[in-house]
Each structure stands twice: as structure tokens, then as C-alpha cells.
Amino acid sequence: MKIDFTRRPLTICGCSTLDRRGRVDAMNPLAEGSSPAGLTACFTIRNALIFGKNCAGEARALGASRAYTEPMAHPAAQERQALSEALRGVAADAPTLCEGWDARDLAVHIVVRDSRPDLLSGERLPVVGGRARAALEELKRTDYQTLVDRVAAGPPRWSPTRLRAVDNLANTVEFYVHTEDVLRAQQDFDPNHRRDIRPDVRAQLWKQGAQGLFLLAARSQHQRITFISPHHGAVTRGRTTDPLCVIQGPPEENVLWAFGRRGVAAVDLTAL
């Protein structure tokens, strides 16, 4: 059975919209076929605000200013640190897997997402669109290492992603994928020597994949897909009337595949 994995567009985050040919419109988060309030795999600030209402108790335990580099940092904090290190390791104009974006563009995206979420779609709004575009352009002119420092520092104190639970929900998948966007786009990347992922990060990636991302990927492809990961289990997502296939690999590689990085995801795909 031949499977066509390029049948529908899929918006999976603010920076990656897959077109009908499987290419990524990285520079336009509101490209035709995308839906900022619909198919999103990395939760937006709006989602985090809603979810954050249930996290006040954990916020008191975590503390609003706890460092992101603490030894026992939660999964999203670990991946933020990994992303920061990946960005520091390349030049500002280094390529990434987000088509049309270099490392500077990716750093700007994270800074905007952390501290200026109003700019994510503000440039397309009437009246305030000009101001939003000007603010974005000013941010893009910021020194690259300063941008990376802001990525590493994390969101401001008012951000709901200062809560551990909200941070994990909103950012673990986002930061993992964008770290790989940097690392795997470089010429010296060796697919046989991928970075080690800590067990708690893997567990979080699998959890979020099973809860939403895998379903979005299956439906976007008109496939019923069984995702299998050793030591984590198996989940089947998609309509019962769609053709079935099996994707097997570590949680992080399944997430990369579901997120649209299919050309670099180390998974085994079998059509049934």
C-alpha cells in the first residue's frame, strides 16, 4: 500500500506550516491553511494562561524566579538550556530546519514567544500592525548573542510559563524540536550520534505526543497511525476508516516525525 504523506497542510507551531508538498512556510505563522487557534502542537500563551489557573499550588512550590539551569530542572527547562547551547554553538546566519529561518530568526521567535506574545500575530492586525512590525524589526537587529542570552534567561516574571506545569506543557515539545532544528541542519551533524535525552524529558515528550500531537499528525495525513516506543508503550491515533500504518522509534523521534521533521526523524515506518 502506497501512503501519501503530503495530502493536507498541517500547522504544528507558530513557525512551521507544512504546505501540500511537505515544505515548511517557516516565516509566516498565519500562512494560508494554518489556524493559530486550531491545529497547534506547541501550546500558545493563551493555552498556557487557561491552564495556569490550576497551577497556583505548584507555583508556590517552584517559586517564580527559580533558575532554568538548576541541576534537577524540569523537562522544559532542560530543553531551554539545550536550545540555548545549540544556538550559541552556531553563527547567527546558520541554517535551521525551519525553511527560511536562520539561527537568528529562531532566537527571535523564542524571545517573542517568551516576552512579546502580542507580536506573534500583531503585525497582521489593523491599526497596531505597523507598530508590531517595527517592534519585530528592532528585535531582529538585536545582537545575536544578546538574543541567545534572552532565550537562556527565560520568560519575564509575569509570564504563566514561570509555572513548572505550564512551562512543561507549553515548551517541552517546542524547545526539543527547535533544538533539533538547529543541530540537525548543520553539515557536521552525525545522525548516529544524536544527543542524549533524559528519561523525564522523554516521558514528557511521549505524554504530550499521545495526548494531542500524534492525533493531529494522523488526521493531517488521513492515516490511522500506531506510534510505538520501547519502554513507553503504543498509542493508535486517527480515524478508524483511514489506512493504517505503524511508526516506531524513541519518543523524541516520534515527536519529530509528528511535528513535521520527517526527513530527519529516526523512525521506522511500516504501512499495513
**Domains of the chain, residue spans:** 44-189
* pLDDT value of residue 117: 77
65 or 262, higher pLDDT: 262
Count CB atoms within 10 A of the CB of residue 169. 24
Distance between CA atoms of 44 and 202, rounded to whole angstroms?
21
Q: How many percent of the chain have pLDDT more than 70?
A: 69
| Out of 64-78, 100-114, 221-235, 241-255, least confident range | 64-78
Whether 9 has a pLDDT exceeding 60, the answer reads no
Read off the pLDDT of each residue in 205-222 and give the average, rounded to a whole number. 96
Distance between CA atoms of 57 and 129, rounded to whole angstroms?
38
Mean pLDDT of the chain: 79
**pTM surpassing 0.85?**
no
Distance between CA atoms of 49 and 144, rounded to whole angstroms?
29
Please give the biggest Cα pair distance in the chain. Answer: 54
DSSP classification of residue 102: B
pLDDT-derived band at 121, boundaries 50, 70, 90: low
